[in-house]
Amino acid sequence: MTTESTAPDERVPEGPPLGDEKSAPPRLGSARALAWRRRRQSAARFWREYRRHRAGLAGLGLLLLFAAVALTAPWTVGSDVQSVTDAPGRPMEEPSAEFPFGTDQFGRSLFGLVLWGSRVSLLVGLLAAALSVAIGALVGITAGHFKGWYATVIMRVTDWFLVMPALVFAVALATVMERSLLTVIVAIGVTAWPTTARLVRAQTLAVESRPYIERAKALGGGHRHIMSRHVLPNVMPLVLAQTTLGISSAILTEATLAFLGLGDPSLTSWGGLLQDARQAGAVSSGHWWYLVPPGLAIALVALAFTLCGRAVESVLNPRLGVAR
C-alpha cells in the first residue's frame, strides 16, 4: 500500500541573490557617471584656482568681449560694411558721433570694419594655433616615446625649425602659395610647432619614466595604448597652456602677413586694415584714426590671450609661481 504525501509543495521564493548588493561589480553606466563626476570636480577645482588670478580674469573678460563682438558682427554691422560703392561717409573723415572711429579712404566706417575684421583675425588665430599645437604634440609624444634614431632625426628637424625665423618661413610659404585664408592658417601652423614639440617631448620622457608605464608595458600594452591612454592625458595640461599662448602669437603673425600684403585680399582683417592705411598714406598724412583702432585691437586681444595663457599655466603647474 502506497502512502502519498499530502504536504503542500513548498518552494523557495525567487528573489535577489544572497549577499550584499554593494559588492556587485559596478555597471558601465555607473562607471561613466563616476568618470563624468570626477571631470566636473576637476573643472570646478580648476575654476576655483583660476579665479585667484586677477590678470587671468581680466584677460578672460577681454576675450569674452572680443568673442561677443565677432559672433554678433553679422547682425550689428553686416557684410555691407565692406562695400566700397555704398560707403556712407566721405573719405578720411575724423571720428565723430556718426563714425566713432572715422572713415577710410573710401568713406567706409572704420568702426564697422574693425568689428567685422575681428571675425577673421580670431578665426585665423584659433585655427593656426590649434594646427601648430597638434603638430607639436604629435611630434613631441612620438619622439619621447620611441626614442632611438627616430627621436634623433625628428629633434634635429625640430632644431632646424627653431633656428629658422618662423615669420620668414611663414612669409616664404604665403608667397609661393595661393593668397587665401587657408594659406595663412597653414603658413602659421606649420612654422610655430617646434617649441610645443620640445616641451611635450620633455614631459613625455618624464611621464614614461614612472613605474606604472613599465607595468603597462609588462601587461602587454602596445605603443598606441601607452601613448593615448597614459602619456596624452598627462601632457594635455601643457598642450592646453601652449594653445592659449599660441593664439596670441598666431594673431600677431596673421596681422604681420596681412600688413605685408600676403593675406586674403577679399577678406577684412585687422592686419589688412593696417595695410590699407599704409597704402592710403595715413601715416604721412596724420590720419591716426585709421591706424589706432585696428592696431589697438590686435594689441588688446594678444594681451588677453597671453594673460589667460599665463594664468592657465600657473594653475596647471603651480611650481611656476606666476604672480597673481
Q: Which residues pair with 103 in a beta bridge?
A: 109
pLDDT attached to residue 319: 59
187, 170 in Cβ contact below 8 A? yes
pLDDT attached to residue 41: 85
pLDDT attached to residue 210: 86
Q: For residue 183, which amino acid is it?
A: T
pLDDT attached to residue 3: 45
Mutual orientation of helices 110-146 and 292-316 as an angle, nearest 10°? 30
* Pairwise CA distance, residues 19 & 29, whole Å: 22
pLDDT attached to residue 136: 95
pLDDT attached to residue 175: 86
Report pTM. Answer: 0.82
Cell of 197: 614639440
pLDDT attached to residue 62: 95
pLDDT attached to residue 27: 56
Cα–Cα distances in angstroms (integers) from residue 15 to residues 10, 19, 26, 31, 206, in the given order: 15, 12, 20, 26, 53
Q: CA nearest 145: which of 237, 218, 230?
A: 230
User: Which residues touch 114 (CB under 8 Å, ≥6 apart)?
Assistant: 101, 270, 273, 293, 294, 297
pLDDT attached to residue 59: 94
* Pairwise CA distance, residues 271 & 31, whole Å: 50
315, 50 in Cβ contact below 8 A? yes
* Pairwise CA distance, residues 207 & 88, whole Å: 60
304, 69 in Cβ contact below 8 A? no
Sorted by where each begins, the domain ranges of the chain are 70-77+99-320
Please give the CATH superfamily to which domain 70-77+99-320 belongs. MetI-like (1.10.3720.10)
pLDDT attached to residue 18: 45
Mutual orientation of helices 148-163 and 110-146 as an angle, nearest 10°? 150
Q: CA nearest 240: which of 55, 50, 32?
A: 50
Q: What is the distance, to the nearest Å, from the Cα of residue 130 to the centroid of all Cα atoms in its chain?
A: 5
User: Which residues touch 150 (CB under 8 Å, ≥6 apart)?
Assistant: 142, 143
Which stretches of the chain drop beneath a pLDDT of 70? 1-29, 31, 318-324
